[in-house]
């Protein structure tokens, strides 16, 4: 099985749009009244959710005139946040066809489909012209891509000179055997973790200038602590959340990820760079 297929199958739900739609009445909403805030617990599939998105995106100097690329966009939650926040255009690309189909439907629900276009495809060979985008970001994507040199060269190609590019990925903190499954991989064979220095080396070799690195380990520990406290206080899981995506495997994947972070094997890290 190819790595692309293995990664895509890892994220496959099978009936994701219907699962999200079925939860909407439990939120006290309809398709006409649902908002990006209502969807954030399910469509911001990265450590820290919307809170992490706000912190990360706020460093990218995005303006209303910018056409932004979301690499590995998933369901398009971050793209919807950016388009709503900056009133600009966002293009997303993701390997998992079900995520793209679902994400485009969610964009229509919240009336952002004129600002956002999501495409199925590989980040290693994107169907975009050179120097198309004014900026780009990727959130929890590199863990599934071994060839980060090719990834960053491809992103560099489609960005205009001076464009800002941000990475928010789970990265290696120190050596040690991780416990699987985790949200991005069922087993070690589809997990391609790298240390921040390896990311920076690949970025700089592609032509980027790295300006910032920020380890968000403490934020992650606090986030999961507060999440567990909220679930306990509420007496159970909310209508929408990461459990909607990962289904029965949610508890063990989150537990393993928290333990791997606590052992300091991994941490979510932000890296900000610019194209020369």
Q: Which domains does the chain have, with CATH numbers?
A: 3-275 (3.40.50.150)
Percent over 90 (pLDDT), the chain? 90
Nearest to 186 by CA among 226, 122, 143: 143
**pLDDT tens-digit map of 132-156:** 999 999 999 999 999 999 999 999 9
* pLDDT of the residue at 3: 76
Distance CA 177, CA 194 (A): 14
Instruction: Compute φ and ψ for 201, nearest 5 degrees.
Output: -60, -45
Distance CA 21, CA 220 (A): 29
**pLDDT tens-digit map of 197-207:** 999 999 999 99
* pLDDT of the residue at 9: 81
* 181 preceded by a cis bond (ω within 30 of 0): yes
Contact 116, 142 (CB under 8 A): no
* pLDDT of the residue at 1: 45
Contact 149, 202 (CB under 8 A): yes
Torsion angle in degrees (nearest 10) through CA of 39, 43, 46, 52: -40
- Name the token pair of 39: 């969807």
Neighbouring residues of 17: CB distance < 8 A, sequence distance ≥ 6: 101, 102, 105
Overall average pLDDT of the 241-259 stretch: 92
Distances (CA, A) of 113 to 104, 105, 254: 7, 8, 32
Torsion angle in degrees (nearest 10) through CA of 148, 154, 159, 161: 80
Distance CA 148, CA 202 (A): 6
* pLDDT of the residue at 2: 61
**pLDDT tens-digit map of 78-108:** 999 999 999 999 999 999 999 999 999 999 9
Neighbouring residues of 256: CB distance < 8 A, sequence distance ≥ 6: 178, 179, 180, 181, 182
Of 13-22, 81-90, 119-128, 164-173, the range with the lowest mean pLDDT is 13-22
């Amino acid at each position: 099985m190819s790595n692309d297929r293995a990664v895509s199958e890892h994220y496959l739900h099978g009936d994701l749009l219907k699962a999200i739609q079925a939860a909407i009445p439990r939120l006290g909403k309809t398709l006409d009244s649902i908002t990006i805030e209502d969807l954030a617990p399910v469509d911001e599939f990265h450590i820290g959710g919307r809170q992490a998105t706000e912190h990360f995106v706020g460093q990218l100097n995005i303006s209303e005139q910018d056409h932004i690329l979301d690499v590995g966009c998933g369901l398009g939650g971050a793209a919807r946040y950016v388009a709503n926040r900056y009133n600009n255009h966002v293009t997303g690309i993701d390997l998992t066809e079900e995520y793209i189909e679902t994400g485009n439907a969610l964009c229509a629900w919240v009336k952002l489909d004129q600002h956002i276009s999501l495409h199925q495809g590989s980040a290693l060979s994107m169907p975009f012209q050179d120097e198309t985008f004014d900026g780009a970001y990727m959130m929890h994507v590199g863990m599934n891509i071994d060839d980060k040199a090719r990834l960053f060269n491809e992103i560099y190609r489609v960005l205009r000179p001076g464009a800002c590019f941000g990475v928010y990925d789970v990265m290696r903190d120190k050596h040690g055997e991780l416990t699987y499954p985790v949200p991005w991989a069922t087993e070690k064979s589809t997990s391609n973790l790298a240390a921040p220095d390896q990311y920076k080396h690949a970025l700089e070799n592609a032509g980027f200038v790295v300006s910032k690195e920020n380890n968000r380990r403490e934020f992650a520990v606090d986030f999961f602590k507060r999440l567990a406290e909220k679930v306990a206080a509420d007496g159970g899981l909310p209508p929408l959340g990461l459990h909607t995506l990962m289904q029965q495997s949610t508890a063990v994947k989150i537990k393993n990820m928290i333990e791997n972070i606590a052992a300091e094997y991994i941490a979510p890290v932000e890296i900000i760079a610019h194209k020369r």
